[in-house]
Amino acid sequence: MASFPILPYSVVTWRPSVKLNPPISYSAKDRAFKVSCDHSCFEARDIKYRPPGTQINLLNDVSFTLPEKSFGLIFGRSGSGKTTLLQLIAGLTKPTSGSIYIQRYSDDGKPTQPPVLLSPERVGIVFQFPERYFVADNVFDEITFGLPRLKSDLKVKELIARRLERAITSVGLSGISLDKNPNSLSGGYKRRLALAVQLVQTPELLVLDEPLAGLDWKARADVVKLLKNLKKELTILVVSHDLKELTPLVDKSWRMDVGGLLTEKPLPV
Ligand SMILES: Nc1ncnc2c1ncn2[C@@H]1O[C@H](COP(=O)(O)OP(=O)(O)OP(=O)(O)O)[C@@H](O)[C@H]1O
């Protein structure tokens, strides 16, 4: 298993960090969330989301804290707002109010600096049935689709080549020809490819919507094993109905109730 992320954060210089202005202030209620954060946490506070032109909030006062390199799982009824939350975290939609940010803490649980807004470049999102969104006719083009085109100088090319190689290795696609048509891969390999597409962008937080949906038992077991390995190097947040299979990986879990209400709860298995 290749170690991941591929490059130290400082090397990937095109990833902007946006400071919140004004900085978030901390109440006694907020401090209760810090207990489990040793270093950095991905945090959401009081997220509300109402789609434009509608009268109903899909998400209501959603708050959570996910320590870095941990595995979080959100479960709950269909239509409760889980996918909507993932889309907000990935920056595909903006919350109506509230914020999602990264907070660093010292060993004694105090914030060491102002929170930094979570920018979309730091998040990789794998949609439910990601293979439906493949755009290229070979594996190489699919993985490199979102990368800078290769007019760049040699150093950038080398950097991209290393990122590509490590993404492929880390999802176990090394044995597959890069010329292969993505649609000719098995279900499990398509999921690996969808993960590689995100990993090549070196995200710090990977969010996955129903990563086991539609796979046979063998492919499901393979994806669980893959996620277990990725968890060593990345923070992962999953929305899933497949609680039993994912239980061994889960560090924190939440139930989303209809009306977009998120509560930290142990898995009901
Ligand atoms: N842009 C929108 N405008 C209005 N309603 C929306 C919009 N986007 C989603 N919804 C509705 O919001 C609710 C929450 O949808 P969401 O897909 O987030 O739920 P979910 O918990 O992920 O469901 P599932 O488990 O079935 O995937 C659904 O009733 C959906 O129809």
In the Cβ-directed half-sphere of 2, how many Cα atoms lie within 13 Å?
20
Q: Which of 49, 80, 96, 242 for a ligand 1 pocket mutation test, highest count of atoms within 8 Å of Cβ?
A: 80
Q: Check if 86 has its Cβ closer than 6 Å to any atom of ligand 1.
A: no
CA torsion 132→133→135→136, rounded to 10°?
Answer: -60
Q: How remote is the CA of residue 87 from the centroid of ligand 1, in Å? A: 11
User: What is the per-residue pLDDT across 27-84, written as a single tens digit (0 to 9) for each?
Assistant: 434 433 444 556 899 999 999 999 999 999 999 999 999 999 999 999 999 999 999 9
Query: ipTM, 2 decimals?
Result: 0.95
**Per-residue DSSP letter, 197:** H
190 Cβ contact partners less than 8 Å away, ≥ 6 residues apart: 130, 131, 134, 182, 183
Kindly report, residue by residue over 150-160, the tens digit of the pLDDT: 566 788 888 88
- CA–CA dist 249, 220 (Å, integer): 14
